[in-house]
Chains A and B, each alone.
Chain A
Amino acid sequence: MDIYGKVKALISEQLGVEEGELTMDTSFEDLDADSLDIVELVMALEEEFNLEISDDEVEKIKTVGDVVRYIEAHA
């Protein structure tokens, strides 16, 4: 599975949304995710892709596309 596919699967699992509803432009605000939902998602991403995402970087992540681009650049 490519990074986009893996990210969508993780977001779907963590936030309880259908993968089909997710696009690169979907924002976490639209998904009603609060700051702790994002932290839980970040934990899942860190474990899946074996990396660490700092607090400062988390602040910049607003959409599914932001996650995919971050993983592509750092994994």
Chain B
Amino acid sequence: MAPGVGIIGIGSALPAKVVTNFDLEKFLDTSDEWIRTRTGISERRIAEEGVITSDLAARAAEKAMAEAGITADQVEMIIVATATPDAPLPATACYVQAKLGAVNAAALDVAAGCTGFIYGLVVGSQFVRSGAYRHVLVIGAEVLSRILDWTDRSMCVLFGDGAGAVVLGPVDEDSGILSFKLGSDGHMADMLAIPAGGVRRPASLETVKAGLHYARMLSGNETFKFAVRVMGEVTQQALDAAGLTREDLDFLIPHQANWRIIDAARKRFCLPEERVVVNINRYGNMSSASIPVAMEEAVRDGRLKRGDLVALVGFGAGLTWGAAIVRY
């Protein structure tokens, strides 16, 4: 019988530097009240100068490996989900592999915007389920502060830096990742994008002057509508695939893009507030790091216990979306 695949270790790494809304008020035409009411964010962490995505990823991974009780040489694959790689080439996972000394691991990145962790989790779980690998590291890591235009108040107030990691390994058949659903709509590819720096618009003096290397969002309203609708839909589809209902869920752990999105989706999904894990107030949107960081917090504060049923759900650039139902 095929074994199950589950999260056998989890860890996170957050920069120590806290930037509050009041700090932003000093150089942007914005206010703490506006940011809090529109986004739910009070503060975010920003990586210190010189700290890069693979640094945060490796720190989170080391904690997850310690909890799983495995050493670096037991990791057979490293998947880094990120929108902010150390460099365009090679994969950030290769830098992480070197930092961990995970000499037996294959290393690759997954690019699925804020859905990256869910995509990485599903990709990695296939190798464990098939029996090809025993231990796979899946890491969501971002240093978004370096791809933001800090003069654009509509974008830079939303994001933060951080990393979260899990070790996937074999578990009992009836626990771990029970089902998943992934989706994408490439017709909306320009909705959330960094326009230049790839081969369509290679980096040049002009692209730099035009600010085309910063992350941009074409329509906040359309993004909001997409996110609220897809969150409930994909969670329901993943629950259906596992033969479960929303009443079975102990916790929903959504991508932390905006508290207003989470709350609108929660109401439509008819879940009480205490069953949704929210920490955006302290970290902002950490893209692919948000879900594992929120999950790790819920584990450490005692809310999320072994045996609980959780839905992890993400949505983001691509557009992409995905949900996984996990018996933790």
Contacts and interface: CB of A to CB of B under 8 A. Distances in A.
Contacts of B264: 40, 43
Contacts of B222: 55
Given A36-B224, A36-B260, A39-B225, 11 more contacts: A34-B38, A35-B38, A35-B221, A36-B38, A39-B224, A42-B221, A43-B229, A43-B264, A55-B219, A55-B221, A55-B222
B118 interface: no
Contacts of A40: 228, 264
B151 interface: no
B221 A58 contact: yes
Interface residues of A, number: 9
B37 interface: yes
Interface of B is mostly: helix
Chain B: interface residue count, which band? 10 to 19
Contacts, number: 22
Interface of B: 37-38, 219, 221-222, 224-225, 228-229, 260, 264
A36 B258 CA distance: 11
Query: Sorted from nearest, which 9 A-B pairs have the closest CB atoms?
Result: A36-B260, A39-B221, A39-B224, A55-B221, A40-B264, A43-B225, A55-B219, A36-B38, A39-B225
Contact of B37 (A34, A43, A55): A34
A17 B222 CA distance: 25
